[in-house]
Structure 1
Amino acid sequence: MARKVLIVDDEESIVTLLKYNIEQAGFETDVAYNGLDAFQKAVQIPYDLIVLDLMLPELDGTDVCRQLRQKQVDTPILMLTAKDDEFDKVLGLELGADDYLTKPFSPKEVVARIKAILRRASKQEQLIPDAFIKIADLIIYPEQYEAVFKGNNLEFTRKEFELLLYLAKHKGKVLSRDQLLSAVWNYDFAGDTRIVDVHVSHLREKIEPDTKHPIYIKTIRGLGYKMEDHVHGRS
């Protein structure tokens, strides 16, 4: 069965262009011309991927992305925008998008990104995860996408959880921001690693007793981050 892609853009010419090229690549497609329609469809239909424009009527792309992740809809999202702005890139990925393209773009590039995202998602599904990973008061359940801290269930966006899991699986090792970008987002920002710092900050708010003096996720100055294998001084 062909994988199905939801194309969301308020410009009919762009939808037509994307629809043609994505279908030529062997995918089925569905379309939406506003954010509200896109959100309602994505909640009801199990798409394999969503191509989502940022600037939309009724509900913009960032709100669609945010609300889908809040509803635990983990469908991969490729975000499109006419804005070539660092803040937009960081915000889109922070909200749970999997990749990002600015207009104007090549339809072939869109198809290539779609295939890359789906390949990565397929590889992740094939991995046999550990039953759980325990680091002091933090217990992570990879298969369930759940984590418990001091007996309390934590809430994460998908990328927050994937970052936490990657750090935990490599506990005791210093990981550069570029390594984390490549591993968790599968994307190269040519040195722009602010998205990693933002997500680490969010994780610390959820698991650190004192965010100013973290004991789980340590900053290694000039190098990157490290999940402590043996956490001391926890309350």
Structure 2
Amino acid sequence: MRRKMEGCAMYHYATQFDHAVPHSPAFVPSARIGRVLLVEEVPDARRSILSYLQDRQCTVIGCGAMDALRQIQHQPFSLVLVNARCGTFSGLDVLRQIRGRSHVPVILYRDGPPADMERIIGLELGADDFLCGPLDLDELLARARATLRRQQLGRLDPAPLQGGYRFEGWELSHASRRLTSPSGKVVELTKSDYTLLNALLESPGRPLSRLHLMRATRMHEDIHDRSIDVQVLRLRRKLGRSGAGDSFIRTERGFGYVLAARVEPLY
């Protein structure tokens, strides 16, 4: 059973998702689709889509067509959603601007009857998907996840990792293996520091055993498991330069460690 969203009759979603169980923000990772940019000129439609995505723990920013390129240039996004009818701007124009600066996945949507030529041109210009007709927000979210799954599968080859993670103002880059503090200072990481932090960031809020972390950091099996404690202590000190690093990596007594931070994947 579906219902229409207040303030924007053509946007709707399934009611079975309405009652998500609340969790503590400190332990719940951000939605797997990462940071989303929504380019939508109609205020009611923008509010409806933003509300829907935020209710599903997505990190999303809304803007108009004139502001889209500035947003792309000033912060990383994992996905961009663009209304193909952007007032005086065409969504295709916005797509051209984005593709001139970024390879971020873009999904176009058009709240009207299918326009085959427009859809073909959009895909040829680099859109990753194009939805036509009254916008079903459940489908939009499913297609967003499918688009990012395809992108992630493409990273399973030997090519260097891209993206990284953002957590509590910190950023870890896979490409450079560089950790940047909330103040913008680069923190030097050893190979073991990087692999340990990456293992924790992959499973925020989940207690990880010492053995799991030893394997993730590729430490030799014959090393006593307390050696991972030394690595954690060293990493805590580096994160502690912000004055709150120890609170990110918490000890699970007799078991291992857990990363208590809100984590957002970067693409």
Look up the match of 2:144: 114
Counterpart contact for 1:8–1:31, Cα < 8 Å:
yes
* Residue 55 (structure 2) pairs with residue 24 (structure 1): yes
Counterpart contact for 2:113–2:133, Cα < 8 Å:
yes
Aligned-pair distance for 1:102? Answer: 1.3
1:11-63 CA distance string (max 9 Å, x none): 11211221122122221010012x12112211222111011011113532111
Counterpart contact for 1:21–1:108, Cα < 8 Å:
no
Counterpart contact for 2:80–2:105, Cα < 8 Å:
yes
**Normalized per residue, which structure has more strand?**
2
- Give me the whole-angstrom Cα distance separating, in 1, the residues matched to 2:93 and 2:73: 14
- Give me the whole-angstrom Cα distance separating, in 1, the residues matched to 2:74 and 2:90: 19
**SS of residue paired to 1:31:** strand
Alignment of 1:70-219 (within 5 A): 70-71=100-101, 73-81=102-110, 82-129=112-159
- Give me the whole-angstrom Cα distance separating, in 1, the residues matched to 2:72 and 2:113: 24
> Greater relative contact order: 1 or 2 (C-alpha under 8 angstroms, separation 6 or more)?
2
Aligned-pair distance for 1:122? Answer: 1.1
Unaligned runs of 5+ in 1: 131-235
- Give me the whole-angstrom Cα distance separating, in 2, the residues matched to 1:47 and 1:26: 15
Q: Percent identity, please.
A: 24
Aligned residues: 129
- Give me the whole-angstrom Cα distance separating, in 1, the residues matched to 2:136 and 2:53: 12
Unaligned runs of 5+ in 2: 1-28, 161-267
* Residue 71 (structure 2) pairs with residue 41 (structure 1): yes
Work out which of the residue numbers 43, 46, 62 in structure 2 matches 1:12: 43
Aligned-pair distance for 1:129? Answer: 4.8
> Aligned letter for 1:9?
E
Query: Please, what is the CA RMSD of the aligned residues?
Result: 2.0
TM norm structure 2: 0.45
Counterpart contact for 1:25–1:111, Cα < 8 Å:
no
Counterpart contact for 2:35–2:77, Cα < 8 Å:
yes
Aligned-pair distance for 1:115? Answer: 0.8
1:72-96 CA distance string (max 9 Å, x none): x011001011351110110111111
**SS of residue paired to 2:38:** strand
- Give me the whole-angstrom Cα distance separating, in 1, the residues matched to 2:43 and 2:35: 19
- Give me the whole-angstrom Cα distance separating, in 2, the residues matched to 1:69 and 1:98: 11
**SS of residue paired to 1:84:** coil
Counterpart contact for 1:65–1:97, Cα < 8 Å:
yes
Q: Against the structure 1 CA distance between its residues 45 and 128, is the aligned structure 2 distance closer, same or farther, given a 3 Å change threshold?
A: same
- Give me the whole-angstrom Cα distance separating, in 1, the residues matched to 2:74 and 2:157: 27
**SS of residue paired to 1:104:** coil
